Amino acid sequence: MANETPTFDNSEITTRRRESAAGVAYGLACYLWWGFVAFYFKAIAHVPPLEVLALRVVGAVILLALLLRLYGRWGVAISALRHRITVITLIGTTLLIACNWLTFIWSIVENQLLQASLGYFINPLVNVVLGFLFLGERLRRWQIISVGIAACSVGYLTFGLGELPGLALILAFSFGFYGLLRKIVRVDSIVGLTVETTFLLPFAIAYLVYAFSTDRLVFGMQSRTTDVLLSLAGVVTAVPLMWFINAAKRLRLATLGFLQYIAPSLQFMLAVLVFGEEFLSVHMISFAGIWTALAVYSIDSAVHARKVA
């Protein structure tokens, strides 16, 4: 029997490379957007955070509904609501993502972007712990070390400032548990986000009606610039999520994991260099600890991915 030499389809290799390049482009786009979005929320810092959240929900529902219509996914969304466990889980994710959004908006209004960036730096390590506690995922030795370093860094920051960095922990754990529940529920990203924002829609409308009736509504009552910016709240919410979904479909998790540090890194630099938030020696030491923990975690993940590839 003649020896057969394996052949490679150049067109398939080219397609894969193009898909990978597109995935990196989508990933860079979404994380750069999330990093620089602080400028948007700074521009509307005079608007109450609850009103911003309400308009964000209304705008996202409209945009996502149009996308579901475009891709013919309304049937999938409706069928998801027929399963009791799915509905209960999505109610949980709705509360978590609303908490995360509102906390992030509040952090910018109150000049706490530095602490917000800390929360998103901690988030990957929170995911490791949640996977161990709830999904039975085993922790490798260097993962345990990285989590320990992060915990010590947060503890040092708490001791140095004399208070727990509650805002950072709320952001890290709300997004961590959100990711955990979304991993469990069998609903794709676009459908799930549409259902979540639709659950929030009645509360958003109720708040806007209340704010209007008590002369507290800013939208439509001040400047045209403010109205235009607030009208973009849904786009600011949904567009980077669409990019993230496209990136996740095309990239390995290890690659996506490295890209995710872009957003909090930009938030950190903006907080210190642009918005002039106070950066003390205790911040420097604790952030250095967090970055060390992330470096250990990332290197371990890369080595492990190479071994199993």
| Assigned token pair, 59 | 């705008």
The tally of CA atoms less than 13 A away on the side-chain side of residue 16 is: 7
Query: Which residues are CB-neighbours of 101 under 8 A, at least 6 positions away?
Result: 53, 56, 237
**What are the residue boundaries of the structural domains of the chain, listed by start?**
26-308
Task: Provide the whole-model pTM.
Answer: 0.85
Query: Which residues are CB-neighbours of 49 under 8 A, at least 6 positions away?
Result: 102, 105, 106, 109
Residues 249-283 pLDDT 10s: 777 655 666 777 888 999 999 999 999 999 999 99
Average pLDDT for residues 130-150, to the nearest whole number?
Answer: 87
The answer to whether the beta carbons of residues 60 and 195 sit under 8 Å apart is no
Is residue 143 classed as helix, strand or coil in its secondary structure? helix
Residues 42-97 pLDDT 10s: 999 999 999 999 999 999 999 888 888 888 888 888 888 888 898 999 999 999 99
Average pLDDT for residues 288-292, to the nearest whole number?
Answer: 92
Residue 8's φ and ψ, nearest 5 degrees, are -120, 135
The answer to whether the beta carbons of residues 257 and 107 sit under 8 Å apart is no
Judged by average pLDDT, the poorest of 68-72, 209-213, 290-294 is: 68-72
